[in-house]
Structure 1
Amino acid sequence: MSDVLASFNAREKYSHFRILVIGRANAGKTTLLKRVCNTNDEPCIYDEKNHCLLEPSSERGIHDIDRPFAFTSNPQFIFHDSPGFETGDESQLMKVQSFIKKRAKATDVGDQLHAIWFCFIPNKARFLLDLEKRFFNEEGTGSVPIIAIFTKFDDLINQVYDDDLEEDQNREAADRLLKDNLRAPLFGYKFPPRADVCLEDMHEDDGNHQDKVKELMAKTAESLDDLSLKILFVSVQTNNLELCLEYAWTRSQEAHYYGTIMRSDQNASA
């Protein structure tokens, strides 16, 4: 009961929600984040003194994991970017692990890491890299949940496309390949993701991507252990009113339930 009541003070405890985004080059990370924040603008990069650099450049790109960035459309989302492990450089893996450990030990809630979005490009030639396997096998992330995001599923469909098959059959073939060679291995590792989402056509402006963004938001919220963080995450969803209303209703029902119990206990002891 105390956890539920404490959750309503979440906004006093936390000012923003911090996400580490990991993924190979061309995994569609920037497109995804723009969809999440409902913007076409470039992000605002922050320097070491937390001053906003108006836009990224070749000298100060968003691929520095220690340099946070945000979009002006929703500045309560703070992102960190890791370029992934496609180079095979073990130091990159160690840098990501060190970043997660550092944020996990942070005593200031403003410095803590709240979630990890790990983006994968489904490629039938090589679904998982060696360092990606090590990331999910060697060290856990504590209470920080990982959500696996399979981007560019439409590209995988093109890779397996057979002119002799119907469109639905080609989609099913790509889906089986994804599940057998990427999803199943990931969830079989020592420290698996807590959830996964499959995305496609995120670059299109036809509005169909909104359902997938909503799914990512919902699964991220469900993966959070701390109820205060869950409430915070939902509350900063300025572009996902439906999710906000759903959680507001759930929390109001819980508050009503516990309020009824408290009144009953008080009446019984009177």
Structure 2
Amino acid sequence: MNRQKFSKRRLPSIPFRVLVIGRANAGKTSILQRVCETTESPVIYRTSLNVDGTKRREKVILHPSSERGEHKIRDELVFANHEGYVFHDSRGFESGSEEELRRVQKFVMDKSQEKKLKDRLHAIWFCIPMDSERPGLDMLHFNDICPDRNEVPLVAVFTKYDAFMHMMRCKVEDDDDGAGLPAENQAQTVFENEFLSRLDEKHKYVRLEARETLR
């Protein structure tokens, strides 16, 4: 084999495809904008079939007055200034919707079995806002996303940690139940007992705060 010729071959440019799960106001859009270094809204594309069976990809225009947030999980969200990512969005399971869970499971299964690497799902980011007093609802079905145990990495992304810390500081000031422990210590205990305890040991997590911490 001609090594010089091989070394000059260009590898295919494959965007990183991510399914982002989380309810409204979970901080999903802010995360995507931060990752893609932009403040713009993503462009939405939808793929459909022509009469002859071929596929066509069209831009979707959502009207804020009637269709805001009504894009589908199979729609592709792309930022114009960044071609390195393709995102898919799910609204999460705060309402306990079994229908939404089945929709997500089917999407994950279908995309994990795509023949072409560029069409496969490469990661799942499950966004969990920590300013909620009901983490059980926000994390409902976290461990059910991949029923066939496929190899798509599932990452818990804990957002709004700063808001959570503000809540804990107010709690410490209002009562004496913390036995004199600083708010930071109490916050870490609550984080471990109420949030991390709901994850399987195999799952990774990211906690977003003023200084982002990766676990």
Bucket of the pairwise TM-score, normalised by the shorter protein: 0.7 to 0.9
TM-aligned CA deviation for residue 133 of structure 1: 4.1
1:94 maps to 102
Cα RMSD (Å):
2.9
Q: Check whether the contact 2:96–2:140 (CA below 8 A) recurs between aligned residues.
A: no
Query: How many pairs were matched up?
Result: 191
CA, structure 1 residues 184+94, in 2 after alignment: closer, same or farther (shift >3 Å)? same
1:208 maps to none
1:267 maps to none
Aligned pairs (5 A) from 1:20-59: 20-48=19-47, 49-53=56-60, 56-58=62-64, 59=67
Residues 46-90 of structure 1 deviation map (CA, whole Å, 9 limit, x = unaligned): 02232334x644436475211011111212200000000011111
The percent identity for this pair of structures is 35
**TM-score using structure 2 length:** 0.77
CA distance in 2, matches of 1:35, 1:64: 23
Residues 73-121 of structure 1 deviation map (CA, whole Å, 9 limit, x = unaligned): 2122000000000111110011000100010111122210000011001
TM-aligned CA deviation for residue 178 of structure 1: 0.9
1:163 maps to 173
The structure richer in strand per residue is 2
CA distance in 2, matches of 1:33, 1:146: 16
Aligned pairs (5 A) from 1:56-71: 56-58=62-64, 59=67, 61=69, 63-71=71-79
Q: Check whether the contact 1:20–1:116 (CA below 8 A) recurs between aligned residues.
A: yes
For 1:198, the aligned partner's letter is: R
Aligned pairs (5 A) from 1:1-270: 11-12=11-12, 15-48=14-47, 49-53=56-60, 56-58=62-64, 59=67, 61=69, 63-123=71-131, 125-129=133-137, 132-137=139-144, 139-161=147-169, 162-163=172-173, 169-188=182-201, 192-193=202-203, 195-200=204-209, 212=212
CA distance in 2, matches of 1:111, 1:46: 14
Unaligned runs of 5+ in 2: 1-7, 48-55
Q: Check whether the contact 1:120–1:148 (CA below 8 A) recurs between aligned residues.
A: yes
Q: Check whether the contact 1:160–1:170 (CA below 8 A) recurs between aligned residues.
A: yes
CA, structure 1 residues 153+27, in 2 after alignment: closer, same or farther (shift >3 Å)? same
CA, structure 1 residues 135+149, in 2 after alignment: closer, same or farther (shift >3 Å)? closer
CA distance in 2, matches of 1:128, 1:81: 21
2:53 maps to none
For 1:115, the aligned partner's letter is: A
Provide the secondary structure at the position in 1 that maps to 2:20: strand
Provide the secondary structure at the position in 2 that maps to 1:31: helix
CA distance in 2, matches of 1:175, 1:63: 36
Q: Check whether the contact 1:119–1:150 (CA below 8 A) recurs between aligned residues.
A: yes
The structure richer in helix per residue is 1
